[in-house]
Amino acid sequence: MKLKVLKANISTGKRKIAVLNYKNANELDLFAGDRIELKLGKRSTICILDVAHTERHVPVGKIMLYDETAEFLRAKNNQVLAIRIAKPPSSIKLIKHKLTGRKLNKIEYRTIVEDIVNDNLSDIELTYFVAACSAHNLTITEIKHLIDAIVKTGSIIKPKSKIIVDKHCVGGVSGNRTTMIVTPILAAAGLTVPKTSSKAITSPSGTANTMACLANVSLGEKEILKVVNKVGACMVWGGALNLAPADDKIIRVEHPLCIDVSGLLLSSIISKKISVSATHLLIDIPWGKGSKFTSKKEAKLLKRKFKLICNVSGIKSKIVLTDGRSPVGYGLGPVLEAIDVMKVLRNDETAPQDLKEKSIILAGKLFDLVGKTFWGKGKVLARIILESGSALDKMNEIIHAQGKKRLPPLGKFRKNIFATKAGKVKHVDNKHFSKITKIAGAPISKGSGVYIKVNLGEKVKKGSVLFSIYSSTKAELDYAFDYFKNNKSEFIIIS
């Protein structure tokens, strides 16, 4: 069959794509997503086939080429192309093996990761890999292979320091912006902390979302190195960097199902840490009802795996299990969390004490781990640094080095939720608060969120304000309030 070129004048920015009318595709036995080889004169290329279901833009007998494809082939309209099915990349066979539960070796993981990074796999193919890793757990050795492959296919940031400290929280708890307090505490003590954070996947805000309310977080690799070498720390968004690039592509196909695949989660986290040259790592695993890990057994299992992987990767680690049942801090949503963080750093008397204390504990564990203090005394040092204002000074240095931003305004639509009876606050439900914060518009709308006005164990009067919802639109506020009404008995339990 002869197909005539039709230039689309559309750029995809990455992949080479060609589009056939569905009638031709059927006739040629080709499917959308197939790899095809196009030949025009002496030039040939492999691209991905898309199929048009009407004749409106791609008539029968034509092949529409997106800019990248047309430019590569130097194609002109109405030139005649040869088409054939291209060979699949070599990792396809390995993914099929993995789907049957077979263990893969170092070279096999390297092959898969290289194909991921080089965009040789379609979304469908990559999804099979993620699903296979989800259905058949990876062994520690497999995770190590995967980490090595992910690190090797990306850039590495190497700050000028022998000891490089990092922390990580596996997430699942709203608020919980300890990173933004721990990082300046550590840096104020002279430690090097090149902190990169990924985006919120399941929570209403991630560290990068919250930090973005105070400073520029979209720094390049060179800028990060400059900031870290100058002020000792940074808190940036890792997503646009070339650190462990395979990881972001994997996360992209995990996202639609909101799944965290244990083996992939581990390799994702550790490869990012190795990519910033971390030597010492603290990992926070919140667990309990309403968090990612509901049983202590699950959390302990993950802890054991982290320990093993850090050991084989040559990273000194401290892994702590923390209480993940309730939100940490009062504010949920980027702006409200940023306000909480700054209150803690400023030693404001209205600062959330749970966020402060958790941050001190975590920073303390890291001081102990790197040997800054006698084992167990790190907490004392962390408190001194925070309460003396040194951490605040360091935070301001970091903000200025990254590029200070003006705090966005809070959502202008607000609704207070009142206690319907008097009593003691027994439970603040993490899952419902996380959900309502997202419904209110966070993290898309930075100023949207929830501000909790009570502490666990606190006595409240009937009619007192329990929490406030902030939204940037009336519709989102109403939608959030509806969600509250449908679940009101489960948000804050008073007895």
Residues marked active site are found at 260
Q: Does 14 bind a second copy (CB under 8 A)?
A: yes
For residue 486, the minimal CB distance to a second copy (Å) is: 14
- The structure tokens 């099979």 sit at 128
Q: How far is the CB of 118 from a second copy (least distance, A)?
A: 15
Site for a second copy in 246-275 (CB under 8 A): 252-253, 255-259
Give the C-alpha separation, 249 to 267, whole Å.
13
Report which residue type is found at 297: K
Q: Is 368 in the site for a second copy (CB under 8 A)?
A: no
When the beta carbons of 435 and 453 are compared against a second copy, the nearer one is 435
Token duo for residue 492: 């804050």
- Contacts with 438 (C-beta within 8 Å, 6 or more apart), sequence order: 204
Element holding 133 (H helix, E strand):
helix 123-135
Question: Which of 419, 422, 424, 417 shows the shortest CA–CA distance to 485?
Answer: 417
Binding of residue 82 to a second copy (CB under 8 A) = yes
Q: Which of residues 395-454 bind a second copy (CB under 8 A)?
A: 438, 441, 443-445
Best CA proximity match to 217, nearest among 183, 190, 251: 183
Stretch that binds a second copy, among 78-86, 270-278, 370-378, 458-466 (CB under 8 A): 78-86
Binding mask 44-63 for a second copy (x = CB under 8 A): --------xxx-xx------
Using the minimum distance from each CB to a second copy, give the nearer residue, 409 or 423. 409
For a second copy, which residue of 4, 43, 96, 400 counts as binding (CB under 8 A)? 96
Q: What is the DSSP string of 199-225?
A: --SSSS--HHHHHTTTB-----HHHHH
DSSP 240: T
x/- string (CB under 8 A) for a second copy, residues 155-174? --------------------
- 202 lines the binding site for a second copy (CB under 8 A): no
Q: Give the closest residue to 267 by CA, choosing from 118, 98, 141.
A: 141
Residue 101: exposure state from Cβ atoms within 10 A (0-12, 13-18, ≥19): exposed
Closest separation in Å from C-beta 256 to a second copy:
5
Site string for a second copy, 450-489 (x = CB under 8 A): -----------------------x-xx-------------
Least Cβ distance, residue 316 to a second copy (angstroms): 33
Nearest partner of 386 among 344, 348, 352, 353, judged by Cα: 344
E strand map for 268-348: 280-287, 316-323, 331-332
Q: What's the closest the beta carbon of residue 357 comes to a second copy, in angstroms? A: 29
Tokens 């002279």 found at: 190
Considering only residues 209 through 248, tell me which ones interact with a second copy, judged by CB under 8 A: 209, 239-240
Q: How far apart are CA 450 and CA 467, in angstroms?
A: 7
Does 199 bind a second copy (CB under 8 A)? Our answer is: yes
Task: List contacts with a second copy (CB under 8 A).
Answer: 1, 10-14, 22, 26, 28-34, 52-54, 56-57, 67, 82-85, 88, 92, 95-96, 99, 101, 122-125, 127-128, 131-132, 134-136, 199-200, 209, 239-240, 252-253, 255-259, 438, 441, 443-445, 473, 475-476
